[in-house]
Structure 1
Amino acid sequence: MNAQEIIRSIEAEQLKSDIPDIYIGDTVRVGVKIKEGDKFRVQPYEGVVIARRHSGINETITVRRVFQGVGVERVFLLHSPRIDGIKVIRRGKVRRAKLYYLRERVGKATRIKQRFDRPL
C-alpha cells in the first residue's frame, strides 16, 4: 500500500455516516459542542447554507445568520468531532451554487423560497 491509500483508509474511519443531505439554500441547525470547564454542552447555530466546499473528510459548509442586525457566517467542517449533529429545518429553492449575494441584502430581501420536492 502506498501513502495515499493509507491516508484514504484512515480518513474513511473518521467519516460520519449520520449527516443528512444538505443543499445550498437550506436552513440548517448545527449542534456545536462547546467546552466549559470540564463539561461539554451543545449550542445550536441556525442559519442558511450559502456555500459548500471540498469533499470527503475536508467537506465544509458556510452557514449565515443575522444576529442583532449583524450578519454572522461560520464555516463548519462536516466530519469534525465538534459537530454534534445537523438538522435540516427547511429546504431552499435557489438557482446557484454560492449565495454570496445575500451578504449585500438586508431584511426581507434575504428570504429564500421554500422547496417541497425534497424530503427534510
Structure 2
Amino acid sequence: MSDLIKVIEDEYSAVKGSFPAFGSGDTVNVHVKIKEGNKERIQQFQGTVMQRKNPGTNGETFTVRKIASGIAVERIFPLISPNIDKIEVLRKGKVRRARLFYLRGRKGKAARIKEKL
C-alpha cells in the first residue's frame, strides 16, 4: 500500500517542479481552469501571496489575496492541482514574515509591499 502512495507522490512531485519559486509577499498571476457546463476556460487570479502552508509536501497550499472593486478576496490554491494551469511571478516582495495576515487590517497605500531589487 505504501508503495502505491510513493508512486503517486513521485508522479506529482514532477508537477511541483514545473512552477517557479515564489513566497509570501510576491505578486503572482495564477491561471486557473474553470469548468462551465461542458466548456473549459482559463481565468487569471492576480494578487499577493499571503502564506504557503506545508511547504515541500504534496499537500502544499498557498493563499493569494487581491482587492476587487474595493472588496478583498482571498483564495487558497493547492500547489499540486489539475486546475492550476500555470503560475507567473510578477513581483518579488521584500517581507520579513512567512505569513502576512497583517495585510487584512490595511487598505490602500498602507497595504503595499516593497519590491525586492
Match of 1:12 in 2: 10
Match of 1:87 in 2: 88
1:33-44 correspondence to structure 2 within 5 Å: 33-44=33-44
CA RMSD of aligned residues (A): 1.1
1:13-28 correspondence to structure 2 within 5 Å: 13-15=11-13, 16=15, 17-28=17-28
Give 1:37 deviation, angstroms: 2.0
Q: TM-score, normalised by structure 2?
A: 0.92
SS at match of 1:58: coil
Give 1:9 deviation, angstroms: 2.1
1:107 paired to 2:108 = yes
Question: Aligned residues, how many?
Answer: 114
Q: Distance in 1 between matches of 2:18 and 2:115?
A: 24
Could you list the structure 1 runs, at least 4 aligned residues long, displaced by more than 4 angstroms after superposition: none
- Stretch deviating more after TM superposition (105-114 or 54-63): 54-63
Give 1:68 deviation, angstroms: 1.0
Percent pairwise identity: 50
Q: Distance in 1 between matches of 2:87 and 2:72?
A: 21
